[in-house]
Amino acid sequence: MKNKRIVVTGGAGFLGSHVVRLLLEHDHDVVVLDDFSNGKMFHLEHVAAHPRLNIIEGDITCMDEVEEAFAGCSIVIHLAVLGLRESIRDPHRVNEVIVHGTMNCLDVARRNGIELFLNCSSSEVYGTALYNPMDEDHPLNPETPYAAAKVAQDMYVYSFGRTYGLEWTTIRPFNMYGPNSHWQGSRGELIPKMIVRAMNRQPLVIFGDGSQTRDFIYVEDAARAVLAVAENPACRRTCINFSSGVATSVRTIAELICQYYDLEPDVFIRSEAPRPGDVRFHLGDNTKFKEMLGFSPETVINEGMGRTIAWFESLPKSPEELLSQEVLRGWE
């Protein structure tokens, strides 16, 4: 990847902002394409003035804006997305972004002779585990419109490789958390929402009994994995999981947050009815990634949670302001 100009779609988002920072630290020229619906400029505030960074406000569903951002680039890191809960509320818009937007990116990439299209997928394509741990051969059983759109995204990437010879790689990170994660409204995720509520001594909501498990990945580990996959030619034309191989229950996460804020779990953890689209069990098999790249996620859940909480406490908004954004359609 030396002396390559790299475009990152969704580069102001959760994972994207960490990927952009790492690319700049490795002296790459970086173009960010983001419509700032999920992504935020403050995610990039520490690098915004970097001379090798160009930030373009644009939408991947608009072909002209994709063509502008991709011009002169050799590598695409495709991270732009709308989330799972949004897909339940507005499946058409999420499909437009994930599927139609990806097709725009692929079409421009193959016409521009892009050297690598790195596709960021999701462990949600697997659905609830039929066996554990889930390897790359696990059946694709999407349980939400978001997951179905991500399956379509992966298949279009694969097909452009087969049909047009476009070089591609697909990485499937499992459940990410960490700084720059979203807590706001229906775009918010489990861990950041719980942290914001704990900061305000409000009940932490879990859906069902909390025994459902996830394979949590600290976002900085995931960003490092994305770069490692992009840099390794052996990773071309294949799908690769990135997971910890450790299953953690949702209730365990809630208890860790309660412990940090000295809250009594029996008082501050509240159970509500299960939500549609929540998978029951997620545990990834990281064998392929470790064999090809030589490392596994380094950050254990207690350490990563401490860093994530510290980031939320460093935000310029008061806890009350954060909570006012969290409760807006927050548990759909």
**Tens of pLDDT along 167-210?**
999 999 999 999 999 887 666 788 999 999 999 999 999 999 99
CA atoms within 13 A on the CB side of 228: 19
Please report which confidence band the pLDDT of residue 325 belongs to, taking 50, 70 and 90 as the band edges: confident
- Whether the Cβ atoms of residue 118 and residue 78 lie closer than 8 Å to each other: yes
Omega into 276 within 30° of 0, i.e. cis?
Answer: no
More confident residue, 219 or 276: 219
Best CA proximity match to 149, nearest among 100, 76, 190, 186: 100
Task: Identify any residues that bridge with 54 across adjacent strands, giving them in sequence order.
Answer: 31
Counting beta carbons within 10 angstroms of the beta carbon of residue 260, is it exposed (0 to 12), middle (13 to 18) or buried (19 or more)?
middle
Question: How far apart are the two ends of the chain, measured CA to CA in Å?
Answer: 41
What Cα–Cα distance (Å) separates residue 101 from each residue in 61, 95, 282?
4, 9, 27
pLDDT at 330: 42
The two tokens of residue 24 are: 């700049």
Of the listed ranges 40-49, 95-104, 146-155, 182-191, the least confidently predicted one is: 182-191
Question: How far apart (Å, rounded) are the C-alpha atoms in residues 63 and 278?
Answer: 33
Counting beta carbons within 10 angstroms of the beta carbon of residue 63, is it exposed (0 to 12), middle (13 to 18) or buried (19 or more)?
middle
Mind listing the domains of the chain with CATH numbers?
5-174+216-242 (3.40.50.720), 180-214+248-281+300-326 (3.90.25.10)
pLDDT at 327: 60
**Tens of pLDDT along 10-67?**
999 999 999 999 999 999 999 999 999 889 999 999 999 999 999 999 999 999 999 9
- Whether the Cβ atoms of residue 171 and residue 242 lie closer than 8 Å to each other: yes
pTM above 0.85, yes or no: yes
Average pLDDT over residues 148-175: 97
